[in-house]
Copies of this chain bind each other. A is one copy, B any other.
Amino acid sequence: MSTSFQPHRAGDLHFLKRLNRSAILEQIRRTPGLTRADIATQAQLTKATVGGGVQSLLKQGWLREGELQKSNGGRPGRSLYLNDQHYAMLGAEVGVHGLRLVACTLSGELLASHHEHLVPTTPEVTAELLAELLQTLMASPVFAGRHCLGLGIALPGPIDPTTPVLRRAPNLGWRDIRFLELLSPHLPQMTGVWIMDNEAKSAAFGELYFRTGQIPDSLVYVSAGTGIGSGMVEGSHPPLISRGLQGLAGEIGHTVLQPGGLYCHCGNRGCAETLVSGWSIRAALGIAEEENLIEAILPRLHEEQVQLTLRRAGEALGTLLLNLHHTQNPSEIVLGGSLVQLGAPLLDPALAFFNAHQNRLLGTRHQVPLRVIEDSTFIAARGAAAQVLASVIHGPSDLI
């Protein structure tokens, strides 16, 4: 049974203090350069409370003071920014094509990154290698002197959110892996939060969380690679990742688009992945596992069969986006993953279909913003790092 027995939140004065500190931090994170007075107005706190909170956050290295703002008749306010010098988070993604590691600042800027090209073997060996690479990353000079808030790992498959355990990663051949438990023995000195999540969900989280200024209410990240997955984040405080009971939320590659269609590796028929995914495109064009899919296709784009295959896949992708629109209706859709590199022959039919049909129901002209990320190499790893930060800011940590 799925019974979160989490009693309704209650708290003491300490809790209230932390709540207000993290509210202040959130405000500055979202709109860098605010003054104490701005925060007091927006958060409905008194100047005194904000002043105290800002002082403690400055002392603990979360914030830094910036320039004086323009005066508008009186004493000018002092701009406040996140202090990117004192803390850092680590994020990593285990993917079919290798390990991707990042270290990043509170603002989401990459301090260092590393892409190790390899095909992961067993979980144990992969964990050991990843640990080694993480050690190297932490030893790099840009990281020096920073306090590490924790480590987030993004994995390509549904993760049962309670344990957490990676239930299934078809492209790695892994099942029921508690990856963090394999990793932690190799990283004894790692302090802070440990996070493990699905790559599309981590990516979605990062894309929303590291945004400043105009922040969408919700965001879906669609990861189009060997398989197709998605992650949805809703912009409450903190943004909430929809994971579902068994971590199956966002498994849009296995929604049925063509009842009675081709068999999918999951055993069902007509799944979206049979129409659009790295493996189905491989199968349609007879490209061997050993070859890099993108590199194999790019020189063949002029071939009619390739164009037809990609156009059909693109239309299926467009249908998938439309179905997302009518199921979750996110404020913004972000499209990433290796298939994006195939460019217009795949994406044009997808976007054309989506844009042509998304407004039929309401008859409006408003288009849901859809952003395509050309290079999504470190997006999921960075998102996992974002989850670490959010967990520290909003969780039970004592660092704030």
Contact = CB atoms under 8 A, between A and B. Distances in A.
B248 A326 contact: yes
Nearest to A53: B10
A240 B326 CA distance: 18
Interface string A1-19: 1111011111111011001
A132 interface: no
A254 B45 contact: no
Chain A, interface residues (CB within 8 Å), range: 35 or more
27 contacts: A2-B218, A3-B214, A4-B235, A7-B27, A8-B22, A8-B26, A8-B27, A8-B43, A9-B19, A9-B237, A10-B20, A10-B24, A10-B44, A11-B16, A168-B363, A216-B245, A217-B245, A218-B244, A218-B245, A245-B329, A245-B330, A254-B361, A255-B326, A256-B322, A257-B257, A259-B315, A327-B327
Interface string A323-354: 11111111110000000000000000000000
A35 B332 CA distance: 46
A234 B215 CA distance: 22
A278 interface: no
A262 to B, nearest CB: 14
B19 A249 contact: no
A56 interface: no
A357 interface: yes
The 9 closest A-B CB pairs, nearest first, are A244-B329, A8-B26, A10-B23, A248-B329, A2-B331, A255-B323, A267-B360, A8-B23, A249-B329
Interface string A188-210: 00000000000000000000000
A246 B326 contact: no
Given A214-B3, A245-B329, A256-B323, A360 B43 contact: no
Nearest to A275: B259
A117 B134 CA distance: 67
Contacts of A6: 237
Given A6-B237, A236-B236, A267-B360, 7 more contacts: A12-B16, A234-B240, A242-B328, A243-B329, A244-B328, A244-B330, A245-B368
A9 B42 CA distance: 10
A236 B7 CA distance: 10
A167 interface: yes
Interface in A248-269: 248-252, 254-259, 266-268
